[in-house]
Copies of this chain bind each other. A is one copy, B any other.
């Protein structure tokens, strides 16, 4: 059975939505979804807010109750019938994210047990056939095939295999 390593933030968990939500809360400036998903949060906000926004990810609540990216639940449930699924997230950079991420996976993907969850840093440590990730740097040294998942920050990134949403993952792998 082939194995797929699936990233969390901006692939299954909508961290960009949290940035938008907190930015409204703190500065009363709202983005349309089109704006929010068109560019990095740093490129959308007023420059003087940059320092504050960068602190968001170190806050205990940032990773709690993130929305699930559209289609992720349905497509991963179907992938799970034909592939070994591992969630592989570079969570070590944000120790505050470890327990919220684990709780989040338990809530939304309860059939993926602790055995198939990986919190890591450098993803070249991952042994899988495919990796679905929104950062091409995570494909450096990866022994399988990297599939770039479109996110606000990677529209201009060049990579040979890209999917724009979970329906395109389904079309590619099922």
Give the B-binding residues of A (Cβ under 8 A): 3, 5, 86, 88, 92-93, 95, 98-99, 102, 113-122, 124-128, 143
- Label chain A's interface by main secondary structure: mixed
How far, in Å, is A34 (CB) from chain B's closest CB? 34
- Residue among B3, B120, B128 making CB contact with A118, cutoff 8 Å: B120
Contact, CB under 8 Å: A125 / B122:
no
Contacts of A122 in B (CB 8 A): 86, 115-116
Known contacts A115-B122, A120-B119; decide if A95 and B86 are in contact (CB<8 Å): no
Contact, CB under 8 Å: A125 / B118:
yes
How far, in Å, is A133 (CB) from chain B's closest CB? 15
Which of A3, A5, A127 counts the most chain B CB atoms within 10 A? A127
Contact, CB under 8 Å: B95 / A125:
no
Q: Which 5 A-B pairs have the closest CB atoms?
A: A115-B121, A92-B114, A127-B127, A115-B122, A119-B119
